[in-house]
Amino acid sequence: MRREQQFVSLAHERLDQLRGEAEAAVRATMAQVSTSLQARVERDIEVAEHSASLGALDAADAGLCFGRIDRRDGVTYHIGRTGIRRDDADRTPLLIDWRAPVARPFYLATGYEPMGLRRRRHITTEGRTVTALHDEIMDLADTTRTGYESHDADEVLLAALNSARTGRMADIVSTIQAEQDHIIRAPQRGVLVVEGGPGTGKTAVALHRAAYLLYAHREQLAKRAVLIVGPNPAFLGYIGEVLPSLGETGVLLATVGELFPGVHATGSDTPAAAAVKGRAEMAHVLAEAVRDRQQVPEKGAPLVIRHDDGELVIDWDMAVEARHKARETQLPHNLARPHFVFRIIDELTAQLADRIGADPYGGPNFLGPDDIALLGKGIAASAEVHSAIATLWPPLTPQEFLADYLARPTHLGADEAELIRRADGPWTPADVALLDEAAELLGEDDSAARAAAEAERARQIAYAQGVLDVSYASRTYEFEDKHDEESEVLAAHDIIDAERFAERHEEADHRTAAERAAADRTWAFGHIIVDEAQELSAMAWRLLMRRCPTRSMTLVGDPAQTGDIAGLGSWKRILEPYVGDRWQHTRLGVNYRTPAEIMDLAARMRRKSCPDFRPPRSVRSTGVVPWTERATKEDLGRTVLAAVARETPDEGRLAVIAPRELHGELASLGGGPVDLTRTVVLLDPRQAKGLEFDSVIVVEPALFGESDLYVALTRATQHLGLVHVEDLPEALTQKG
């Protein structure tokens, strides 16, 4: 007996030793796996960072370095579209990113305030070839000369302004002016309104502000993304290359009509219909329409449901009580619906239990709690019951609800209802804001999707456990004859459990933040920039404010160019409902695009209705006054085509801006989607917003609204002509 006890004791000691050795082996293996995984993660991050750097360099390759500043202390910095450092221990800067604080004197230094500079050099390149150098002397006491001194401080700016257009906006990183720099580098928090007339660089400033914010707040905005909202797809195509040229590609560009995932708004509304849909009152109208979908049977006409154990009845009292309890939750329609459903099912269960379990002699109900629960499960599983409930409180998608509402508009005046009534057809941009409002009112009951996801995850874990079990079964133990030694093989389940094993096989989401934001209606952006902000309707603003709960926004526009009757125009009307008076306003007053001769003509037209109108000051004059040509109604098309042939520049772009109703007559100039890279492009005034061309021909200006005409007249950088059949507006025929 004693020997047996000793043997058992020795066996336990050996097992303890083996267990300790196995645990140590497991810990070592797990540490090795963890180290390997960490190294892999670090390699992936390093590869991603290098890829991003290479992408930025590729995007900024044209004109990578555009400037140099020589400081009085002898330090010289080269300024570029992105930063580059030497691969040495000190990571010595080779090229300073234009957004870095040390580069700011390149934009702000003047002869009166040199900011510590001796000279500033502008470097002009073509591809990778330097074509010109322009030096500005900041310290007049410095007698050193390079031979590249410029006698005109604005020579580089004017050269950029006079260059031929390509159909794509170019960045202004090498010619940012002081007033623009202050706006670009303004703090991120809060709402900043940037107002400016035509040609003041509002859009360019907004885009460079996006690039600056992504540089200054990289960690935050890289996760939340920046949204830039433009007035139309042509405009987004026009500005699409600016941020990539600055090394920034993680920004979402969209129109309001593209901000509801899964919906592509290709339809169009009349201006009057868009105005009705865009009114703030539509939020209340849609809320009432949703409540209308939460119905009850009429008194005296209950809803009867066939059931195996006899008919079930949903009467007015039952439904009203259930609806009241569901509405008390203050949840959106689809999220409140389960409360309505459960209440009705409970009442129907009690109704059936009373019938089945009733004692004919007046005694107590003989059904127990388990019996009643079983009846409830049967009713809850009844397709007839759920069909009946769906007629009272239907589950709704925003698309289903809005399509039904537009077919039968309610809670509007008869004239307004008729304006927006539509039985079918594609969604319009104005519909998108209504869809977003409907989505807020309805909510999304994702319980079924979550249950399905949990079931799938459980299935994957079960499968992973099966794999680990097979691994465990194959494990071998070798015992020698004396049973004093054991050889143990480490198995997979010693290192990883089924849940973690399943996670390793889940598909990773490799989309960028901007791509994920585009697919998620509830995404909260880190910052939103809105161009032509004065054009947006009240309902569109409700949509955008939901996308940015922090109210970190930059709004650029010009109330004088408000053309959409749904637009709010006034900054106070736009912002007061959301931030009160807690917003900043700044104005750009210099026109870099439009020559003085053209701007004078546009300003005369505006002063007819607004005598105090003050246009932005043009920085240049070409000496070329706008021309006019009269045509007959029969010859209008031929006259325009002849003018196009005559005015089309050898380099650059020409736009014909005509009322939409004349586009058929001018179809030979182009049709379909706008392609701004073509030498000649046909547009209406709304499509021309925010764009610029070397030459512009405005056709039949008397048919334009005042704001639309103002926009059309101010798109040209060089030449403007007017072709007309109707008499020109008086302001366009007068001098001075």
Of all residues in the chain, what percent are helix, strand and coil, respectively (each to 5)?
Answer: 45, 15, 40
Q: What is the dihedral of CA 439, 441, 445, 446, to 10 degrees?
A: 40
Distances (CA, A) of 276 to 279, 567, 589: 6, 11, 34
Would you tell me how many other CB atoms lie within 10 Å of the CB of residue 646?
Answer: 11
pLDDT at 15: 42
CA–CA distance, 573 with 560 (Å, rounded to integer)? 15
How high does pLDDT run on average in the chain?
A: 85
Query: pLDDT digit string (tens) for 675-729?
Result: 999 999 999 998 999 999 999 999 999 999 899 999 999 999 999 999 999 999 9
CA–CA distance, 209 with 337 (Å, rounded to integer)? 45
Can you give the pTM of this predicted structure?
0.82
Q: Which residues contact 278 (CB under 8 A, 6 or more apart)?
A: 430, 433, 537, 538, 539, 540, 566
Query: pLDDT digit string (tens) for 64-112?
Result: 899 999 999 999 999 999 888 887 777 888 899 999 999 999 999 988 8
Q: How confident is the model at residue 259 (pLDDT cuts 50, 70, 90)?
A: very high
**Selection from 729, 683, 704 nearest residue 232 by Cα:** 683
DSSP result, 141-202: T-----S-B-S-TTHHHHHHHHSPP-SSPPP-TTS--HHHHHHHTS-SSSEEEEEE-TTS-H
Q: How confident is the model at residue 430 (pLDDT cuts 50, 70, 90)?
A: very high
Do 489 and 476 contact (CB within 8 A), yes or no?
A: yes
CA–CA distance, 153 with 156 (Å, rounded to integer)? 8
Do 79 and 68 contact (CB within 8 A), yes or no?
A: yes
pLDDT at 149: 86
pLDDT at 25: 53
Do 541 and 578 contact (CB within 8 A), yes or no?
A: yes
